[in-house]
Amino acid sequence: MNIQEREERHALEVYPRRGVSIVRGAGATLWDDQGNAYLDCASGVGVASVGHANPAVAQALAEQAQTLVTCPGIFFNDQRGQLMETLVGLAPDGLNRVFLCNSGTESTEAALKFARKTTGRSGVVAAMRGFHGRTLGALSATFKYRDAFEPLLSGCQFVPLNKLEKLDAAITEDTAAVLLEPIQGEGGVRPAHVEFLSAARQLCDERGAMLVIDEVQTGFCRTGTFFACEALNLVPDLLCLAKGIAGGVPMGAVLCSDKIDVTVGVHGSTFGGNPLACAAALAAIGFMQENDLAAQARSKGDYFTRHFEAKRPERVREVRQFGLMIGIELKEKATPYLQALLAQGVIALPAGPTVIRLLPPLVISESELDTVVTALHTALAN
């Protein structure tokens, strides 16, 4: 029985599969069990920003695994404290407190609970096409994937992205949280306009709601600044982080402003803030800083767009590129082209029905990007 057959026999099938068994990675390259190499423009969905099998992360993991793997939140820990200090140092001013968890959806759950506890309200305003995770609370604030799971949390409302009057009408005295991605990832690489986000900030202040910004996908240098909030001059009350935070190791975090008022016992997580993940995160973030991955994301993203647009295929409607978060919107369905790319050894992602999304490791080289551009031009040729 090969790898695929064994998984197919036992896995609960919740993922659309691509018929490839990946067994190894290094930098921006993945290998399958047959020894075929792929250029990875998915990064495990935006996770492997520092590259697969990053040596600094691997070493930190090996050392920490031999020191201390688990340590509950009732005790202090050296790795955890250092990571919190690092995160607060990198975040927009005023986000001074950290809650650590294990995934993006857990960061949304925590943020929603903290906003509810702080405001004593329960309403949530989120954006159409927004994605915040798949557990029941986060799903309640997510636009898609909900149908089979109603009833979800009541009081969640969706407004069209960048429609100011709709946002204004939706935020009321019952709103606990306004939850937004600075650039929608799963929803198609669609940016929130700076005016929309600053209006959200102002309306939250006026009406006593908490502004929750979900940077699970945009954070950690992906869009060309350490956090997308930086480029937008935006200071949320709660900032959700995960994906790229720990070099591939499961981790999530919520950064909180001084407004957030939670007390002992309000929330917790067995694995959250474990020293192993914290050590990985410290190594990954250290690598991002030493190599200025934010600047790399900017220049490589621009490099990609310049070369891709030089010979833009007819069936492309629009390219939306923010650092190395790239959406190529087609005039037709994207799935067949994802398969054509895979056949050429390039792994890419969908983002909605018509968008090809590229989230390569930020360590990808320009010559690797040349290969990606050539594969895209070939796959999308008429």
Q: Which chain residues interact with ligand PLP by CB under 6 A?
A: 103-105, 108, 131-133, 181, 185-186, 214, 216-217, 242-243
Nearest to 183 by CA among 146, 137, 230: 230
Min dist CB 144 to ligand PLP, Å, is 12
What's the CA gap between 170 and 172, in Å, rounded?
Answer: 6
Nearer to ligand PLP, 15 or 76 (CB): 15
Q: Does residue 157 contact residue 170 with C-beta atoms inside 8 Å?
A: yes
User: 131 an active-site residue?
Assistant: yes
Three-state secondary structure of 123-162: EEEEECCCCCCCCHHHHHCCCCCCHHHCCCCCCEEEECCC
Q: Are 253 and 245 in contact (CB under 8 A)?
A: yes
For ligand PLP, the closer of residues 116 and 243 by Cβ is 243
Nearer to ligand PLP, 80 or 243 (CB): 243
CB of 142 to ligand PLP, least distance (A): 8
Report in angstroms how near the CB of residue 219 gets to ligand PLP at its nearest: 9
Catalytic residue among 237, 243, 287, 322: 243
Chain residue at closest Cβ approach to ligand PLP: 104
Query: Long-range contacts made by residues 167-170, C-beta under 8 angstroms, separation at least 24?
Result: 167/125, 167/196, 167/199, 167/200, 167/203, 168/199, 168/203, 170/125
Minimum CB–partner distance for residue 289 and ligand PLP (Å): 23
Buried b / exposed e along 95-133 (16+ C-beta atoms within 10 A) = bebbbbbbbbbbbbbbbbbbbbbbbebbbbbbbebbbbb
Point out the catalytic residue in the list 40, 113, 114, 131.
131
Residue identified by tokens 């006026």 is: 206
Q: What sign results for the dihedral spanned by CA atoms 176, 131, 306, 224?
A: positive
- Closer to ligand PLP by Cβ: residue 49 or 103: 103
Catalytically annotated residue among 40, 99, 143, 214:
214
Nearest distance from C-beta of residue 264 to ligand PLP, angstroms: 26
Place of tokens 């930098």: 27
Nearer to ligand PLP, 243 or 320 (CB): 243
Catalytic residue numbers, as ranges? 131, 214, 243
